């Protein structure tokens, strides 16, 4: 018997995940816009976010939320963090008991500072919850390039069943029981990617980029471990892998924001020109609130917050980082400072 997958959210990554699943099992993609749903369902294209890419003919799409959710055996949430709670509340009346819910979002809820898996547990108690995350640039996957991802769940049996739904000839899916670390890797790398983008916008070289990525990984690991993640997770696909892809790719929205900031543009002007969400902008503020509470030092993230929310320039941010004192790189007491 086929396992029916429904994906909520027809952005670039939600559409790509739905396309992957549709090659293995019946899959329905929900779009809030009727016109886009019809285009995906009938023309097998998503002109809003993935123009020029042909989607599988077997992928179905609808703007009817009840239709999308009521028949799902696995529900995938592909909406940004700021709309995640509202989307969960909307699907709740139509979702059958015990259906696993998988998050694709890489952000934290403003105010509560909850991870998306925690939101699922709060709004939809009793449903197995997991995250699908990793260094996954949507257009490269649709173009047929090899990639790998992670399905993180605390139930290995359920994870393996879901793993099979998304894997493909060139898309490998691993399992990991560390939901906290896997999810936080996807959240935190967006902040570091803004810093890497600022370096690009300022005209810095590859040495600077390498330093930002490496020290950024140290910051991600430090705060991630403080919040309960496994340090080894941050050395894998959901940590280092996702960080590298997001910091170096021209397709990365967060790197793009950073580059524009480095070139002297204002954050409000940059966001106004984008049709997709750069999660790292809001996340930088939330992450620093958590870091301050935990007593964890995150100098790169602090400078990103300063530029995105406190009126600092990218030049001032990098001057602040360069003027910091040096410590032993691997000193456990100052790791990553």
Q: Which residue has the tokens 């991870």?
A: 115
Helix, strand or coil for residue 60? strand
Q: How far is CA 210 from CA 206, 207, 247, 249, in A?
A: 6, 5, 10, 14
Annotated catalytic residue: which of 106, 167, 189, 282?
189
Cα separation, 318 vs 244, whole angstroms = 20
Say if residues 64 and 43 touch (Cβ distance below 8 Å). Answer: no
12 CB contacts (<8 Å, ≥6 apart)? 46, 49, 50, 138, 139, 276
**Active-site residue 189, yes or no?**
yes
Residue 301's contacts (CB-CB under 8 Å, 6 or more residues apart) are 188, 191, 192, 195, 219, 284, 287, 288, 291
Q: How far apart are CA 43 and CA 239, in angstroms?
A: 36
What amino acid positions are annotated as catalytic residues?
A: 189
């Amino acid at each position: 018997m086929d396992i029916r997958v429904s994906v909520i959210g027809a952005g670039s990554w939600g559409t790509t995940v739905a396309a992957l699943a549709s090659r293995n099992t019946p899959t329905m993609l929900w779009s809030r816009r009727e016109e886009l749903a019809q285009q995906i369902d009938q023309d097998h294209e998503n002109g809003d976010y993935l123009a020029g890419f042909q989607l599988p003919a077997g992928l179905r799409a609808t703007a009817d939320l009840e239709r999308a959710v009521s028949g799902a055996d696995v529900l995938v949430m592909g909406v940004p963090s700021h709309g995640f709670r509202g989307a969960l509340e909307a699907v709740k009346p139509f979702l059958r008991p015990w259906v696993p819910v998988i998050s694709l979002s890489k952000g934290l809820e403003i105010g509560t500072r909850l991870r998306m898996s925690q939101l699922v547990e709060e709004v939809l108690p009793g449903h197995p919850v997991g995250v699908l995350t990793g260094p996954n640039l949507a257009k490269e996957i649709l173009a047929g390039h090899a990639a790998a991802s992670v399905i993180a769940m605390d139930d290995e049996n359920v994870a393996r069943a879901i793993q099979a739904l998304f894997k493909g000839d060139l898309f490998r899916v691993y399992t990991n029981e560390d939901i906290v670390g896997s999810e936080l890797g996807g959240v935190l790398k967006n902040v570091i990617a803004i810093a890497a983008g600022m370096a690009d916008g300022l005209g810095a070289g590859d040495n600077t980029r390498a330093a930002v990525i490496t020290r950024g990984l140290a910051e991600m690991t430090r705060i991630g471990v403080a919040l309960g993640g496994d340090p080894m997770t941050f050395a894998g696909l959901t940590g280092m892998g996702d960080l590298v892809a997001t910091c170096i790719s021209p397709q990365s929205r967060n790197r793009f924001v950073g580059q524009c900031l480095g070139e002297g543009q204002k954050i409000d002007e940059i966001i106004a020109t984008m049709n997709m969400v750069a999660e790292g902008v809001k996340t930088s503020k939330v992450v620093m609130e958590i870091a301050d509470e935990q007593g964890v030092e995150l100098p790169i993230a602090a400078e990103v917050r300063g530029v995105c929310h406190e009126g600092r320039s990218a030049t001032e941010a990098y001057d602040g980082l360069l003027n910091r004192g040096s410590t032993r790189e691997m000193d456990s007491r100052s790791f990553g400072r």
